[in-house]
Chains A and B, each alone.
Chain A
Amino acid sequence: MSARSIQAVNPAVAFAALGLLVVVAVPFAFILLQAIFPELGRGSLAAPFSRLADTLGDVRLIRMTGNTILLGLGVVALSALIGVPLAVARALFRVPGAMLWDLLMLVPFMIPPYIATLGWIMTLQPRGYVHQLFGFNLAPFLLSVWGIIFVMTLNTFPVIYFAVSRTVEAIGSRYADVGRVFGASAWRAFWRITLPLATPGLAASLLLVFAMAIEEYGTPAALGRRAGFDVLVTGIDLRVSDWPIDLPGAAILSLVLVGLSFGAFLIQRWILTRRSYQTTTGKPQTIDKRPLGRWTLPVVLGFALVAMLATAVPLLAILATALSRTISGGLAVSNLGLDNFLAIFTDGVGALRALGNSLSLGVAAALFTGLLGALSAYAVVKSTFRGRNLLDVLTILPNALPGIVVAVGLILAWNQPWLPVTPYNTALILLLAYCCILLPQPVRYATAAFHQVGDNLEAAARVFGATPMTAFRRILLPLILPTLLASMLLVFAVATRELVASIIVAPVGMQTISTYIWRQFEQGSVGLGMAMAFVTILITTIFPLIVLSLLGKRGGLL
């Protein structure tokens, strides 16, 4: 009886449930209602289910769904191919310049996907930067399915790199060494012991990459239409932006997307709950990394190649465009200048206010999703609360919701005339949008981390009289904090540059970094947009590093 009543009032679980209700369940419920009731936007519940048949019966839906799955799996496979070997090398061996590589692998996160894509187009198209410098172009490759997978992979593989390297580092060589003692070869010990133990981190990051790939709009929109490669997100966008606006159709297609992501989630959960991955037992552990020996050069070359493709090329393309007075002037010394950068600081207050808005929203979103993410993951993994599976489902839902649909759901939910107060048309609605879209990141990372923390640690604290909240705060939170902090920095980076939802729900008269950049592109001022993008990438890269050093942690934390 007493144990039950303690669980019933566990404040961590209650806060997680409330937060998920406001941030995820409310907008999702309105998307669901919109799919069922086509007239919902006008406050009418007429003709329920009337749009399901024709939307789901559309012949293009099967092709778009197939393309979406192909794209998601392609990006996951290529990201794993690049991310896992680098991560294992980084975690188990002494890689020369490890800190530098970590930093260079962090930058692709900070480059908005639509900017990176535009950078690649301007680099690889005929008379692009590569053509101007080296006399050849790779347009046919870029404007194909492989080009889309390639560009998106360069943006997403760091998720796998950081998750796996951290997980493998935490496992260390200890377990594999036991295998070696019993006669296993180094490879066998790695494949049979270390890699399986790293499953939580690997599975969580693969799931995130899959969801990011099927939900991403900018790259398929810019490259896919030219390659004749339609995916669900571009189909949804067309329904939302083409008059007459088809909100019910977009909502129904979004549910298909959510279904795909949910399927991936079930697979990941099945893998994680099949067995125990607890390696953090409270026993002391030495971190001794081994020398690479004759593998030093190939490994360093591998890191250098990936860093060049993922970080150097997009950054240089962005910088070259930002420094060009005109696009048609090309890479000539006479055409270079700081005009675009000066324009950012002289353009009234528009650009600087956009920067300020996005950076504060990014910090707020990171703090809120970090807190809610940790509590939700705790409620799902460590509590025995009966609705925890429902909470787990809620944390995964936004993973596959396209930004534009989250935006519509938020407007439908918060613009009801009977609401006494509403966050709509204030900056809070942007914060809600960012939290909804990005919550899965901290939750997935924290869930993976909690799976590796032995239950006996919390039990020990409780035996010594700690309340559930104290045990959470003093024992569990510090253990998962490095992982959680990494995901919060990711939220900060992505929230400061989120484009699709920002355009639709931004309160009147308010600009964010991404809407500012987008407006420059719309008006043909590509250079000014790229200058703003470059400044943003610098800030979002340097800011987390400052935070980390202030907290006394090293960059290796990521």
Chain B
Amino acid sequence: MMTHTIRAGLAALNVLAMAGTAYANVTVYTAGPASLIEQLAAGFTEETGIKVDFFQATTGQVMARIEAEAANPAVDVLISASWDTATDFAERGWLLPYTSPNAATVPDFLKSDTAVAQGISALAIAWNPTSGTPKPAEWADLAKPEYEDLVNLPDPAQSGATFELVAALEAQSGWSLFEDLAANGAIVAGANAEALNPVLQGAKAAVFGAVDYISFNGQQKGESIEVVFPASGTVIAPRPAMILNWSKNQDEAKQFIDYMLSDAGQAIVAATNLMPARTDISANRPLISDLSILAIDAEAVYAGRENTLAAFGGIFGQ
């Protein structure tokens, strides 16, 4: 009986193993959203016949996997949600220089020798109009008494874009805004989606620094949510795509980058409510040129990351 069980178990394992075996030509590790990489992979395979195997998780989880795999890496193309990854990987000498012919209309600040943006998200105030609060226009509005106990902030330790927003606003006007927010009962509530959820149900009125495309997607589904870009400025989070220099499929990887930046690829990016990286692609949402962007000295900001997070944590009692 036991040998029979073992045999049946092994047979089941074989079936499972077959189901998971990769026959792919190009392996892409990407930070969310899942629907974006699914569509890009399908479109790319249709156009080139090259199969895409992708692994999608948060930026942190993707990095953990790359770090653990370092002895025998599998990833060909990496798409992160934080430009900092591209800078850091370039410094470590892990990236293959490549400039796609399709990147001509990508603005210079969204590309380097070794990385190019796939799309861009921006941070905004996500506000629930049925919350019974006045519509906020500025970051500072959320520290007003009308929003007492009604504001969520994503955790800058878990969201790279939120960290840049905190650093940029702090560089501009010090910690007073965040001290006012904390005194007004604003709380730090996990990663981006976790911070938005209570606002949808109405437990909170607004997210300070919500990722815009998730809120736009909710709006399309009929959720009661509005996206406000403060006139004083916000930060953007370009999503760098890069080819790892250990890739054994460099030609296919380059073709994938080309497809991602093609008209068809950028249209898929725009359809997920991200801003396309190419300026000549239209989208049904405000674009970079419509937004006021806060200046940020990435090098200095990331050098002081630990201190910034510690000061932020101190203000919000973490």
Q: Footprint of B on A, CB under 8 Å?
A: 41-43, 118, 121-122, 125-128, 137, 139, 221-222, 225-226, 228, 238, 240-245, 247, 325-330, 350, 357, 360-361, 363-364, 367-368, 371, 404, 407-408, 411-412, 415-417, 423, 425-428, 431, 473, 503-504, 506-510, 519, 521-526
Contacts and interface: CB of A to CB of B under 8 A. Distances in A.
Contacts of B58: 241, 522
Nearest to B58: A241
Interface residues of B, number: 74
B214 A523 contact: yes
16 contacts: A122-B201, A126-B203, A242-B158, A243-B59, A243-B82, A371-B2, A425-B20, A426-B20, A428-B16, A504-B61, A504-B68, A508-B53, A509-B22, A509-B54, A522-B33, A523-B214
Interface in B179-237: 187-190, 193-194, 196-198, 200-204, 214-215, 217-218, 221-225
Nearest to A30: B68
A522 B32 contact: yes
Contacts of A137: 203
A503 B57 contact: yes
Contacts of A247: 64, 67-68
B16 A504 contact: no
A412 B69 CA distance: 7
Given A507-B22, A508-B27, A411 B16 contact: no
Contacts of A125: 198, 201, 203
Contact of A240 (B2, B35, B64): B64
Contacts of B68: 41, 247, 407-408, 411-412, 415, 504
Contacts of B200: 326-328, 524, 526
Contacts of B71: 41-43, 412, 415-417
B318 A243 contact: no
A426 B67 contact: no
A241 B65 CA distance: 9
Nearest to B130: A328
Nearest to B224: A328
Interface stretch (B5-13, B102-110, B253-261, B281-289): B5-13
A240 B58 CA distance: 12
B84 A360 contact: no
Interface in B1-34: 1-2, 5-6, 9, 12-13, 15-17, 19-22, 24, 27, 32-34
Q: By CB atoms of chain A within 10 A, which of B53, B193, B214 has the most?
A: B193
B198 to A, nearest CB: 6
B189 A226 contact: yes
Contacts of A122: 197, 201
Given A364-B16, A408-B64, A411-B69, A127 B203 contact: yes
Given A503-B61, A508-B54, A427 B16 contact: yes
B303 interface: no
A510 B224 contact: no
Q: By CB atoms of chain A within 10 A, which of B21, B189, B194 has the most?
A: B194
Contacts of A228: 317-318
Contact of B72 (A328, A417, A427, A431): A417
Q: By CB atoms of chain A within 10 A, which of B67, B155, B223 has the most?
A: B67
B223 to A, nearest CB: 5
A229 to B, nearest CB: 10
A148 B168 CA distance: 34
